[in-house]
Amino acid sequence: MPRTVRNAPERNRYELVEGEEVLGFADYHDRGDALVFPHTVIDPSQRGRGLGAILVRGALDDVRAQGRKVVPSCWFVAEFIGLHNDYQDLLAEPKG
């Protein structure tokens, strides 16, 4: 069964799903000009399989498709962007 990343705006998060099982999620806060990503979680039984990278890549690709920016306050999202130069253009300035 394929894994997909979907936006779940009613829960303010992106979810990595396989079928209907949620394998992980990346919470976000919409600040208007950008999405702030404070927290990313992968189910403990699913860790070590690269699923965090799949989740973050899918979320960032969707943000890019919307023409928006991100503030990576989650260490994992920040590290992912730092390691993948093709996502550097998505960085917004933190406020306050």
Question: In this predicted model, what pLDDT tens digit does every residue of 42-88 receive, in sequence order?
Answer: 999 888 889 999 999 999 999 999 999 999 999 999 999 999 999 99
Amino acid at 86: D
pLDDT of the residue at 94? 66
Neighbours of 7 (CB within 10 A): 17
Q: Where are the beta strands (DSSP E) in 31-96?
A: 34-42, 69-72
Mean pLDDT, the chain, as a whole number? 94
Tell me the pTM.
0.93
- Residue 86 buriedness (CB in 10 A; 0-12 / 13-18 / 19+): exposed
Stretch 5-14: mean pLDDT, rounded? 97
Domains and CATH numbers, the chain: 3-90 (3.40.630.30)
Residue 30 pLDDT > 80, yes or no? yes
